[in-house]
Amino acid sequence: MFEGKPEPQCLEVELGPRSYPVYIRAGCLKHLGKLIIQAGLGPKGLLVTNTTVADYYATLTQSSLEQAGLQVRSVAIPDGEAYKNLEWASRLYDAALEAQLDRRSPVIALGGGVIGDLAGFVAATYLRGVPLVQVPTTLLAQVDSSVGGKVAVNHIQGKNLIGSFYQPSLVVIDPHILKTLPARELIAGLAEVIKYGVIWDAEFFAFLEEKVEKALVLSMEVIEPIIARCCAIKAEIVKLDEREEGIRTLLNFGHTVGHAVETLTHYQVYRHGEAVALGMLAAGWIALELGRWSLSEFQRLRELLQRTGLPLHVPGADPRKLQELMVHDKKNLQGALRWVLPRSLGQAEINRQVPEELVRRALEKLVS
């Protein structure tokens, strides 16, 4: 039974020569410099953050790095998804060259998924790859994007179209940092947390049902084990399938419809996690209609999403347009969408043969 404390505070993502530790401890940001030195990185580095995160955490981070003897150049880019692009990657290359970073000098990503993806892309490509240290500051980044090695920038034609698999050398997670995160961002991150329960761990799902209110007020004795469990699950899945050729696809539960919702609303209305919550409901409903999932478990998912404060409907959206957008999703394989459908709590399956009519009805339910 998952009771909230079984994970050690340092996990290992086991990928042979690309293995790396993930430290999770409230207050550990002040030890960042020491952890980087212990990992054998430095003495130079590039700290990438955004202006919002810098206001809160740049001073503490820089003093930790300096105290450990690291000489770090900092760049704070403007806040927003719009800056996760090649232009800003290029400015970061300029900064790296000016600071004369060499192949042992880490790029340190201090921020949410936007900074992690952009800084990760720069680390993957500068000098054909320098070490990457992920210091995620949103719940979404702490439980998902900082672990697993997907790095990318956006292209005018779509999100994350230019990218790579590039594992970090070190991930340092300080849950205390979440105290300054806007409530809506926290809630959006919890959608990804709930996702892990549905696809992988029924006991963890039950734990979330019991403790979600405590997670919402960031009680550290609940949020820390939640982050640790999510990272452990992600590490397990990534170990099995680093490059998303099979089981890693399960992590896309809720994303097929979620991406379509985000695209339809031009990324202006829903946070990524909110769209994923809507997508999990649509996929859940499809699994139910196919007779592959039970009504009682579907209702438990719906209720947990509701208690978390996540949206359950996309009012006013055109189901036909949503369906068209899904067909263009880059995760299409040879024309067939890969649906991730729950089988029972803690277990999901990939289904390439969901009838279009069923998809349409699921979307109609979502928009009503």
Ligand X SMILES: NC(=O)c1ccc[n+]([C@@H]2O[C@H](COP(=O)([O-])OP(=O)(O)OC[C@H]3O[C@@H](n4cnc5c(N)ncnc54)[C@H](O)[C@@H]3O)[C@@H](O)[C@H]2O)c1
Which residues here bind ligand X, judged by CB under 6 A?
50, 52-53, 56, 79, 81, 84, 111-115, 117, 137-138, 140-141, 144-145, 148, 150, 159-160, 177, 180-181, 185, 272
- Residue 313 annotated among the catalytic residues of the structure: no
- Residue 128 annotated among the catalytic residues of the structure: yes
Residue at shortest CB range from ligand X: 113
CB of 73 to ligand X, least distance (A): 20
Catalytic residue among 44, 84, 150, 300: 150
Catalytic residue among 192, 224, 274, 297: 192
DSSP state for residue 176 in the 8-state scheme? G
Q: Chain-centre distance of CA 94, in angstroms? A: 27
Q: List, as own/partner pairs, every contact residues 154-162 make where C-beta atoms lie below 8 angstroms and the sequence separation is at least 24, other chains included.
A: 154/81, 154/84, 154/85, 155/85, 155/86, 158/330, 159/81, 159/267, 160/117, 161/330, 162/86, 162/121
CB of 355 to ligand X, least distance (A): 29
Looking at the DSSP bridge assignments, the partners of residue 136 are: 111
Element (H, E) at 311: none
Cβ neighbours around 42 below 10 Å, total: 19
CB of 217 to ligand X, least distance (A): 16
Catalytic residue among 272, 274, 297, 351: 272
Determine the Cα–Cα distance for residues 121 and 141; give it in Å rounded to an integer.
15
- For 212-234, b/e burial (b = at least 16 CB within 10 A) is beebbebeeebbbbbbbbbbbbb
Determine the Cα–Cα distance for residues 198 and 146; give it in Å rounded to an integer.
21
Determine the Cα–Cα distance for residues 24 and 174; give it in Å rounded to an integer.
6
CB of 107 to ligand X, least distance (A): 15
Dihedral-angle region of residue 130 (phi above 0 means left; psi in -120 to 50 means alpha; beta otherwise)? beta
Is there a contact between 116 and 136 (Cβ–Cβ < 8 Å)?
yes
- Residue 85 annotated among the catalytic residues of the structure: no
- Residue 234 annotated among the catalytic residues of the structure: yes
Is there a contact between 188 and 113 (Cβ–Cβ < 8 Å)?
no
Catalytic residue among 159, 248, 271, 300: 248
- Residue 248 annotated among the catalytic residues of the structure: yes
- Residue 244 annotated among the catalytic residues of the structure: yes
CB of 288 to ligand X, least distance (A): 26
Q: Which is nearer to ligand X, 53 or 198 (CB)?
A: 53
- Residue 150 annotated among the catalytic residues of the structure: yes
85: CB partners within 8 A, 6+ apart: 153, 154, 155
Is there a contact between 223 and 178 (Cβ–Cβ < 8 Å)?
yes
Catalytic residue among 44, 195, 259, 300: 259
CB of 326 to ligand X, least distance (A): 17
Determine the Cα–Cα distance for residues 313 and 145; give it in Å rounded to an integer.
25
CB of 342 to ligand X, least distance (A): 20
Catalytic residue among 255, 262, 274, 351: 255
One-letter amino acid of 126: Y
Cβ neighbours around 291 below 10 Å, total: 7
Point out the residues that are catalytic.
128, 150, 192, 234, 244, 248, 252, 255, 259, 272
